[in-house]
Amino acid sequence: MAEKTLTIKYKEHSSIDSLSETDKELMLRAIAATDGAYAPYSGFHVGAALRLADGSVVVGNNQENAAYPSGLCAERTAIFAASAQRPAMRDYEALAIAGRNAAGELCEASPCGACRQALLEYEQQQGHPLRVLCLLQGGAVREVSSIADLMPFCFSM
Ligand code: THU
Protein backbone atom coordinates (compact mmCIF):
# COMPACT_ATOMS: atom_id res chain seq x y z
CA MET A 1 0.00 0.00 0.00
CA ALA A 2 1.30 3.45 -0.88
CA GLU A 3 0.00 6.47 0.94
CA LYS A 4 -0.10 9.49 -1.34
CA THR A 5 -0.86 13.15 -0.85
CA LEU A 6 -2.65 15.51 -3.14
CA THR A 7 -2.07 19.26 -3.01
CA ILE A 8 -3.62 22.04 -5.02
CA LYS A 9 -2.22 25.47 -5.75
CA TYR A 10 -4.49 28.46 -5.63
CA LYS A 11 -4.22 32.21 -5.27
CA GLU A 12 -5.96 34.41 -2.77
CA HIS A 13 -6.42 38.04 -3.75
CA SER A 14 -7.05 40.34 -0.80
CA SER A 15 -9.89 42.17 -2.56
CA ILE A 16 -11.56 42.63 -5.92
CA ASP A 17 -9.26 45.60 -6.48
CA SER A 18 -6.23 43.29 -6.49
CA LEU A 19 -7.54 41.52 -9.60
CA SER A 20 -6.62 42.42 -13.16
CA GLU A 21 -9.05 44.86 -14.79
CA THR A 22 -10.74 42.10 -16.81
CA ASP A 23 -11.10 39.79 -13.81
CA LYS A 24 -12.41 42.62 -11.66
CA GLU A 25 -14.95 43.41 -14.36
CA LEU A 26 -15.96 39.73 -14.46
CA MET A 27 -16.41 39.57 -10.69
CA LEU A 28 -18.48 42.75 -10.75
CA ARG A 29 -20.69 41.10 -13.37
CA ALA A 30 -21.07 38.04 -11.09
CA ILE A 31 -21.99 40.27 -8.16
CA ALA A 32 -24.53 42.13 -10.31
CA ALA A 33 -25.94 38.80 -11.49
CA THR A 34 -26.91 37.89 -7.90
CA ASP A 35 -29.79 40.34 -8.41
CA GLY A 36 -31.31 38.06 -11.05
CA ALA A 37 -31.35 34.95 -8.87
CA TYR A 38 -34.71 33.37 -8.17
CA ALA A 39 -34.09 31.98 -4.69
CA PRO A 40 -37.27 32.24 -2.62
CA TYR A 41 -36.57 28.95 -0.84
CA SER A 42 -32.94 29.25 0.22
CA GLY A 43 -32.65 33.04 0.28
CA PHE A 44 -29.12 32.50 -1.05
CA HIS A 45 -28.55 34.45 -4.25
CA VAL A 46 -25.65 33.32 -6.40
CA GLY A 47 -24.30 35.08 -9.48
CA ALA A 48 -21.86 33.66 -12.02
CA ALA A 49 -20.14 35.41 -14.91
CA LEU A 50 -18.37 33.42 -17.60
CA ARG A 51 -15.87 35.05 -19.96
CA LEU A 52 -15.66 33.45 -23.38
CA ALA A 53 -12.52 33.38 -25.52
CA ASP A 54 -13.77 36.32 -27.59
CA GLY A 55 -14.06 38.43 -24.43
CA SER A 56 -17.84 38.32 -24.26
CA VAL A 57 -19.49 37.53 -20.94
CA VAL A 58 -22.50 35.30 -20.21
CA VAL A 59 -24.05 35.49 -16.76
CA GLY A 60 -26.17 33.08 -14.79
CA ASN A 61 -27.79 32.93 -11.39
CA ASN A 62 -29.47 30.25 -9.33
CA GLN A 63 -33.04 29.45 -10.29
CA GLU A 64 -35.01 27.56 -7.67
CA ASN A 65 -38.29 25.70 -7.82
CA ALA A 66 -40.93 24.51 -5.36
CA ALA A 67 -39.95 20.98 -6.43
CA TYR A 68 -36.48 21.56 -4.98
CA PRO A 69 -34.28 19.34 -7.18
CA SER A 70 -35.68 21.03 -10.28
CA GLY A 71 -33.72 24.20 -9.61
CA LEU A 72 -30.28 24.95 -10.98
CA CYS A 73 -27.12 26.60 -9.64
CA ALA A 74 -25.75 29.84 -11.02
CA GLU A 75 -22.63 28.22 -12.48
CA ARG A 76 -24.50 25.67 -14.57
CA THR A 77 -27.10 28.24 -15.58
CA ALA A 78 -24.25 30.38 -16.94
CA ILE A 79 -22.29 27.69 -18.77
CA PHE A 80 -25.38 25.93 -20.15
CA ALA A 81 -26.71 29.27 -21.41
CA ALA A 82 -23.34 30.05 -23.03
CA SER A 83 -23.12 26.61 -24.60
CA ALA A 84 -26.72 26.77 -25.83
CA GLN A 85 -26.54 30.28 -27.24
CA ARG A 86 -22.96 30.25 -28.57
CA PRO A 87 -22.22 26.65 -29.58
CA ALA A 88 -19.52 27.83 -31.99
CA MET A 89 -17.76 29.61 -29.12
CA ARG A 90 -17.46 26.80 -26.56
CA ASP A 91 -14.20 28.25 -25.38
CA TYR A 92 -14.23 29.54 -21.83
CA GLU A 93 -11.49 31.54 -20.16
CA ALA A 94 -12.71 32.39 -16.67
CA LEU A 95 -15.71 32.04 -14.38
CA ALA A 96 -16.41 34.38 -11.46
CA ILE A 97 -18.86 33.43 -8.72
CA ALA A 98 -20.38 35.54 -5.95
CA GLY A 99 -23.00 34.92 -3.26
CA ARG A 100 -25.47 37.20 -1.50
CA ASN A 101 -27.18 36.02 1.66
CA ALA A 102 -30.77 36.56 2.77
CA ALA A 103 -29.71 39.77 4.53
CA GLY A 104 -28.45 41.12 1.21
CA GLU A 105 -24.78 40.89 2.16
CA LEU A 106 -22.16 39.61 -0.25
CA CYS A 107 -20.71 36.28 0.82
CA GLU A 108 -18.66 33.31 -0.30
CA ALA A 109 -19.83 31.03 -3.08
CA SER A 110 -17.85 28.04 -4.29
CA PRO A 111 -19.13 25.67 -6.97
CA CYS A 112 -20.94 22.55 -5.75
CA GLY A 113 -19.84 19.10 -6.86
CA ALA A 114 -22.40 18.82 -9.66
CA CYS A 115 -21.31 22.18 -11.09
CA ARG A 116 -17.64 21.16 -10.87
CA GLN A 117 -18.41 18.04 -12.87
CA ALA A 118 -20.33 20.01 -15.52
CA LEU A 119 -17.68 22.74 -15.78
CA LEU A 120 -14.90 20.16 -15.99
CA GLU A 121 -16.37 18.57 -19.09
CA TYR A 122 -16.35 21.87 -20.97
CA GLU A 123 -12.78 22.46 -19.83
CA GLN A 124 -11.72 19.02 -21.06
CA GLN A 125 -13.47 19.60 -24.39
CA GLN A 126 -11.75 22.92 -25.01
CA GLY A 127 -8.36 21.53 -24.07
CA HIS A 128 -7.16 24.44 -21.96
CA PRO A 129 -7.91 25.55 -18.42
CA LEU A 130 -10.95 27.42 -17.22
CA ARG A 131 -9.93 29.66 -14.32
CA VAL A 132 -12.37 30.02 -11.43
CA LEU A 133 -12.64 33.09 -9.20
CA CYS A 134 -14.72 32.75 -6.04
CA LEU A 135 -15.71 35.68 -3.89
CA LEU A 136 -14.90 34.95 -0.24
CA GLN A 137 -16.37 36.24 2.97
CA GLY A 138 -15.05 39.75 3.58
CA GLY A 139 -14.35 40.51 -0.08
CA ALA A 140 -11.22 38.47 -0.84
CA VAL A 141 -11.13 36.34 -3.97
CA ARG A 142 -9.87 32.77 -4.34
CA GLU A 143 -8.54 31.87 -7.78
CA VAL A 144 -7.87 28.39 -9.10
CA SER A 145 -6.18 28.20 -12.48
CA SER A 146 -8.20 25.20 -13.65
CA ILE A 147 -11.51 23.61 -12.70
CA ALA A 148 -9.63 20.28 -12.71
CA ASP A 149 -7.90 21.46 -9.53
CA LEU A 150 -11.29 21.34 -7.81
CA MET A 151 -12.16 17.92 -9.14
CA PRO A 152 -9.41 15.36 -8.52
CA PHE A 153 -10.03 11.74 -9.57
CA CYS A 154 -12.99 12.94 -11.61
CA PHE A 155 -15.32 10.83 -13.68
CA SER A 156 -15.03 11.32 -17.42
CA MET A 157 -15.80 9.26 -20.50
N1 THU B 1 -26.02 27.44 -5.34
C2 THU B 1 -25.47 27.95 -6.47
O3 THU B 1 -26.16 28.55 -7.31
N4 THU B 1 -24.14 27.82 -6.65
C5 THU B 1 -23.29 27.29 -5.73
O6 THU B 1 -22.11 27.30 -5.95
C7 THU B 1 -23.82 26.68 -4.52
C8 THU B 1 -25.28 26.72 -4.35
C9 THU B 1 -27.45 27.65 -5.12
C10 THU B 1 -28.31 26.43 -5.21
C11 THU B 1 -29.50 26.86 -4.38
O12 THU B 1 -30.38 27.62 -5.18
C13 THU B 1 -28.90 27.77 -3.34
O14 THU B 1 -27.65 28.18 -3.84
C15 THU B 1 -28.74 27.15 -1.98
O16 THU B 1 -28.07 25.96 -2.05
Digit-coded pLDDT (tens) for 75-84: 999 999 999 9
**pTM of structure:** 0.97
Of 33, 26, 104, 134, the closest CA to residue 74 belongs to 33
For ligand 1, say whether the CB of 80 is within 6 Å of any of its atoms.
no
Alpha-carbon gap, residue 37 to 22, rounded angstroms: 23
pLDDT of residue 101: 98
Domain annotation covers residue 127: yes
Q: How much is the pLDDT for 157?
A: 82
pLDDT lower than 50: segments of the chain: none
Q: Is residue 155 part of a domain?
A: no
Structural domains in the chain (count): 1
Q: Which atom of ligand 1 is nearest to the CA of 45?
A: 14
The alpha carbons of the chain give a radius of gyration, in whole angstroms, of 15
DSSP 48-89: EEEEETTS-EEEEE-B--SSGGG-B-HHHHHHHHHHHH-GGG
Whose Cα sits closest to atom 2 in ligand 1? 73
**Domain presence at residue 56:** yes
| pLDDT for position 25 | 98
Residue 108 burial by Cβ neighbours in a 10 Å radius (0-12, 13-18, 19+):
middle
- The CATH number assigned to the domain holding 138 equals 3.40.140.10
Residue 48: domain span: 11-150
Which pLDDT belongs to residue 156? Answer: 86
Q: Rounded to the nearest whole angstrom, what is the distance from the C-alpha of residue 106 to the centroid of ligand 1?
A: 14
Ligand 1 atom nearest to 46, measured from its CA: 3
Is 75 assigned a catalytic role?
A: yes
